[in-house]
Structure 1
Amino acid sequence: MVNLGVIHYAYIIIIIIITIIISIKKDVIVPCILGIGVIGYIFTGNSISAIQIIYKAIVVSGKEFIEIVVVIALVNAMSSALNDLGADELIIKPIKKLMINKTMSFFVLGVTVTLTSWFIWPTPAVVFIGALMVPAAIQAGLPAIWAAVVLCLFGNGVALSSDFVLQAAPSITAKTANLPNSLGIVRECLPFWGIMSIVTITIAFILMRRDKTTEIKINKALIGTKKSSQNNLIGTKAMAVATPCVFIIDILFIKKFNFIGSESTALIGGTASIIMIICSIINTNFKTSLGEVTKYVKNGFTFGINIFAPIIIIGAFFFLGSEGTAITILGNGATGILSDIGVYAASKIPLSKYSVIGIQTAVSTLLGLSGSGFAGLPLVGTLANTFSTTINIDKEQVAAFGQIITIWIGGGTIIPWSVVAAAGICKVEPFDVARKNIIPVTCGIVATVILALLIL
C-alpha cells in the first residue's frame, strides 16, 4: 500500500508550476533546478545534501541523454561532410521525385520513418531517415518544424506504440501483466493503435495545411548552400550511392542480430562516423582531412549540446519520478514519485469498467511525464493484471490500451525532452515541436479513450 507524503505533494505542485510556465512560453530551467533542490531537501532534510542532489540529478540526466547527444552529433557531422562533398544533393535527388509538394512530403516521410522504426528503433530511425529525407521534404515545401512533427508522430508514436516487429514494448507489458507471451497484447493493441494513429495523424495533417506562418521559414542549413562536388565528381557519386546502401545494410544487420535500443543506435552512429571520414578524405586529401574531421566533430557536438543543454536540466527534475533514476539521484530508500502517485490513485478509486479506463489513462499520463514511454509499461501491465482479478474485464485489452496511451505521451511526441532527436535533426526547438504535437496527440487520446469505453 502506497501512501502519499510531503514529497509527493511538493512534486505535484512543482509540476503544475512548470506546466503553467511552459503554457505561457517561458523557460523552465529555474523552477526545475529549484524543484530538484526542494525535493532533495524534503527527502534528506539536509540543505547541503539538497544542493548536492541538484548536481547529481543533472549528471544522471546527462548520462541518460548522452547516447542521443552523441548520435545526433555524429549524424550532424556526417551531414556536413556529405554537404561539403555535394553527395547529399545526389542522395535526395530520387526522393524529390516523390516529394512533389508538402502533402506528399508529409506522408512519404512519415511512412518511411514508420517502416524503418518497426525494423530498427525510433531514435536511430528518426536520425537516419531525417538526415537523408528531411532536406528533400523542406525543398518540397514542408516546413522544418512540421518535418520534426512527422518524425515524432510517425516514429515515436505510430511505430513505437505498436512495435509489431521487434515487440519490445508488448513483451514488457505482457510480462508484467502475467501473460504467457506478447501476441495477445499485439492483437488487442490493433484497434487502439489504429484509432490513435489515424486521428492524430489526420489532425496533424490538417493543422499543417492550415499553418501559413511557417511556410516561408525554410531552414537553409538543412538544405545546404555550399557544394564542392566538382573537386571529385566520381567520389561524390560513389558516396551518394554508398551512403544509403550502407545504412540499408545496417538495417539488415539490426534485424538479423536483433539489435534493440542502444545496439542499433551504436551501429548507426558508428557508420555515420566512418562516412564522415571518407567524405572528408575524398573532398580534400588525407592530410587535410585530419583537420576537417575535427571541425565536423566539434560543430556536431556543439550543435548537439546546444539542443540538449536545457533538456538535460529539465529531464533531471522529471527523472525523480521514475524509481530507477530516483534511487540514483536521491539515494537508497527513494521511490518513483510519479509511480507512487499512480498506484495511490488506483488504490483509492472504486473499480468499474469506466474507472479502470480512467485510472489507466491518468496513470499512463503521469508516467509519460518522465519522457520515457517504456518506463511506465511495467506499472501499466501490473495494473491490468490487478484490475482483471478484481472485476470482469479483459486483461489483454486493458494492458494494450495502457501501452498505447503511455507510449504516445512519454515515448517522444508531447514531452519536450523526448522529442530532441527529431528536433535536432530538423534544427528546430524541441519545445516548438512539442507544442505542435499537443493538439493532435490529445485528440488521438480522447478518441482512443472513447473507443476503450465502447469495446472494453
Structure 2
Amino acid sequence: MSVTLSSLHWIYLIFILLIVGVMVRKRDTTLVCILGIFILGLLATSSISQAVSGVFNSMIYAISELLGTILIISIIYGMSKVLEATGINEVMVSPFSKFIKTPTLAYWIIGLLMMVISWFFWPSPAVALMGAVLLPVALKVGLPAIGVAMAMNLFGHGIALSSDFVIQGAPKLTADAAGLPVGEVISASIPLVATMGIVTTIAAFIFLKRDMNSGKIKVDKKDVDITLYSNEDGTEGQVVKQILSKKTKRVFAILIPMLFMLDVIIMITANLQGGDATALVGGTAVFILTLISMCTYKSKGMEQITEFLIRGFQFGFKIFGPVIPIAAFFYMGDMGFVSVFGEVLPNGSTGLVNDLGVALAQTVPLNAGIGSVTLTAVGTITGLDGSGFSGISLAGSVAKLFATAIGRGAATLTALGQIAAIWVGGGTLVPWALIPAAAICGVNPFELARRNLVPVIIGLTVTTIVAMFLI
C-alpha cells in the first residue's frame, strides 16, 4: 500500500511535534490545538469562516465522543460526596482496619483496598472515602504517613487509574484516538497493568522498608493532620453524619458494594463493554446517590440530589476542561476530520494518522522495540502536565501511527502509552497531581513524588520490555 502525503498531513505532523514540545516545557496545549484545527480547516476548505466554525464543531465532536466518560466521572464523584457527608464511607472501610496488624499488612491492605475502590469511585474520591479512616490505624501499627500516602497513590492513581477497567474513561480516550474498540485496548492492557503494578509497588515497598529499618523515616503522629482533606474540590458541604443511624449506615455500606459487584457480574455475563458498561455503572451510581440523599435529608432530599449532582459536574468539567481541545485536535487525525469539515481529505486517504503511519513504514525501519520505547516516552511526556488525561489522546494517535508502520500491536502500544501517561501525570510523579493522597496523610507532595520516582521508573522500564514481546 502506498500513500501520497499532502500539505494537510505535514501540517498535522508539525502540530503533533509542537504539542509534544509544549508539553515538555510544562505549558498548556490548548492554544496550539486550537491553532492546529484552524489551520487544518483553512487548508482543507480555503474558507476562513468554515475554519473558524470547524474549531467550534471539532470541540462539539470531542464532547459528544467524551460525554459518557464526563458524565460517569461526574456522577461517581457526586455519589462519593454524599457517602462522605453521611459517614457511610467510614462504615464501608472500617472492617478492614481489623486486619491491619503490622506495617507490612497496612501497606498492602490499604493499597489493594484503594485499588478496588478506585476502580468504582475513581482515585480522588476514593482517597476521601477511605484515607481518614485507615490512616490512624496504619500509624498505630507503625506504618509512617508517607508509607500510607505511597500505598494509596501507587495503587489508586497508578494501577487503578491507568487501567480504569470499570468506568473505562482512560481506555475510551486512547482507544478513540487509536481507532480501536475499547474492549481491545482493555484486554491488551491487562498484562501491562499487572507488570507495572506488581513491579512498582514491590519496589516501592522494598525501599520503604529499608528506610524504616534504618530509622530514616518513622511514625510521627504529631505531624499528621487528618482533617486537611475535608473538601479538596473547594466546595462546602454540610456534614450530616449524625442523622443516619448506625444500622442504616451499615445497611448502605453492605448494599453499595453488592450493587456494584452485581454490575460487574452483569458486564461479564452480558458481555457489556465501553458505553454500555459505563451506562450500567452510572445508572447504579445515580440511584445510590438519590436513595441516600432522600433517606438522609428527608424533605430537602430533592434539592440535595441536585446539589450533589452539581458538585459532581463541576468536578467532571474541571478535570476534562483541558482534555476537550486536545482531544478535538487528535480526533481530526482520524475520520473525525470528515465529520467536521466534510469530504476534504486527499483521494485514497484513510485518515491523517493512518496515512502518516503507512508513509513512516515505507521510509523508516521500525520494530517492536523502537515502537515500545517511543510510546513510553510519549506517554511520559504527555503526563508532565500533571493531568494524565489531557495527553493520552496523543498517545493513542502515535500508537496508531507506529502500529500501522510496524504492521501489528496497535492495542498493546496504545495501552502502553496510556499506562505511562497516567502513572506519570495522573499521577504518581508530578507533585501537583499527588495533592489528594499527600494532603490527607499530612505529607509533602514533593517528598511523595521523590519517593515514587525510582519505583515508577523501574516499573516503566520493565513494562516497556514486556510490551516488546507482546507486540
With structure 2 as the length reference, what TM-score do the two structures score? 0.67
Aligned partner of 1:331 in structure 2 is: 342
Q: Distance in 2 between matches of 1:257 and 1:455?
A: 28
**1:173-192 map, 5 Å:** none
Corresponding position: 1:74 with 2:75: yes
Identity across the alignment (%): 22
Structure 1 vs Structure 2 CA RMSD: 4.9
Aligned partner of 2:258 in structure 1 is: 245
**How many correspondences in the alignment?**
402
Q: Distance in 2 between matches of 1:300 and 1:99?
A: 32
1:155 corresponds to which of 151, 160, 172: 160
Q: 1:403 to 1:9 in 2, by over 3 A?
A: same
Aligned partner of 2:55 in structure 1 is: 54
Aligned partner of 2:282 in structure 1 is: 269
Aligned partner of 1:221 in structure 2 is: 231
Can you list the C-alpha shifts for 1:282-336, whole angstroms capped at 9, x where unaligned?
A: 1121x32111111111121122112211211221112222x24333233324443
Corresponding position: 1:407 with 2:409: no
Q: 1:99 to 1:79 in 2, by over 3 A?
A: farther
Q: Distance in 2 between matches of 1:28 and 1:102?
A: 42
2:358 corresponds to which of 340, 343, 354: 343
Aligned partner of 1:16 in structure 2 is: 17
Deviation at 1:276, TM superposition (A): 1.1
Deviation at 1:127, TM superposition (A): 2.9
Deviation at 1:90, TM superposition (A): 0.8
**Alpha carbons 1:195, 1:448 under 8 Å: kept:** yes
Q: Distance in 2 between matches of 1:51 and 1:207?
A: 53
**Alpha carbons 2:84, 2:129 under 8 Å: kept:** no
Aligned partner of 2:27 in structure 1 is: 26
Aligned partner of 1:289 in structure 2 is: 301
Q: 1:208 to 1:50 in 2, by over 3 A?
A: farther
Q: Answer with 439-448 or 303-312: which moved more.
A: 439-448
**Alpha carbons 2:413, 2:467 under 8 Å: kept:** no
Look up the equivalent residue of 2:356 and give its one-letter code: I
Aligned partner of 2:393 in structure 1 is: 371
1:306 corresponds to which of 306, 313, 318: 318
Q: Distance in 2 between matches of 1:221 and 1:111?
A: 24
Look up the equivalent residue of 2:282 and give its one-letter code: G
Look up the equivalent residue of 1:259 and give its one-letter code: L
Q: Secondary structure at the match of 1:229?
A: coil
Deviation at 1:258, TM superposition (A): 1.7
**Alpha carbons 1:130, 1:425 under 8 Å: kept:** no
**Alpha carbons 1:84, 1:227 under 8 Å: kept:** yes
Can you list the C-alpha shifts for 1:98-126, whole angstroms capped at 9, x where unaligned?
A: 5689976764466467779xxxxxxx935
Aligned partner of 1:317 in structure 2 is: 329
**Alpha carbons 1:82, 1:88 under 8 Å: kept:** yes
Q: Secondary structure at the match of 2:5?
A: coil
Q: Distance in 1 between matches of 2:283 and 2:230?
A: 27
Q: Distance in 1 between matches of 2:336 and 2:58?
A: 9
Q: 1:43 to 1:417 in 2, by over 3 A?
A: farther
Aligned partner of 1:40 in structure 2 is: 41
Look up the equivalent residue of 2:418 and give its one-letter code: G
Q: 1:340 to 1:87 in 2, by over 3 A?
A: same
Q: Distance in 2 between matches of 1:346 and 1:154?
A: 33
Q: Distance in 1 between matches of 2:434 and 2:65?
A: 17
Look up the equivalent residue of 1:33 and give its one-letter code: I
Look up the equivalent residue of 1:406 and give its one-letter code: T
Deviation at 1:200, TM superposition (A): 4.9
Look up the equivalent residue of 1:37 and give its one-letter code: F
Q: Secondary structure at the match of 1:230?
A: coil
Q: Distance in 2 between matches of 1:339 and 1:206?
A: 44
Q: Answer with 16-25 or 239-248: which moved more.
A: 16-25
Q: 1:237 to 1:382 in 2, by over 3 A?
A: same
Aligned partner of 1:389 in structure 2 is: none
Deviation at 1:157, TM superposition (A): 4.5
Q: Distance in 2 between matches of 1:65 and 1:208?
A: 39
**Alpha carbons 1:40, 1:330 under 8 Å: kept:** yes
Aligned partner of 1:278 in structure 2 is: 291
**Alpha carbons 1:156, 1:412 under 8 Å: kept:** no
5+ residue gaps, structure 2 = 136-144, 169-173, 212-216, 218-223, 383-390, 428-432, 439-444
Q: Secondary structure at the match of 1:220?
A: coil
5+ residue gaps, structure 1 = 117-123, 164-168, 177-181, 387-397
**Alpha carbons 1:105, 1:137 under 8 Å: kept:** no
Deviation at 1:62, TM superposition (A): 0.9
Q: 1:197 to 1:125 in 2, by over 3 A?
A: closer
Look up the equivalent residue of 1:405 and give its one-letter code: L
Aligned partner of 1:91 in structure 2 is: 92
Deviation at 1:349, TM superposition (A): 2.7
Can you list the C-alpha shifts for 1:321-365, whole angstroms capped at 9, x where unaligned?
A: 2x24333233324443333222221122347xxx45325655797
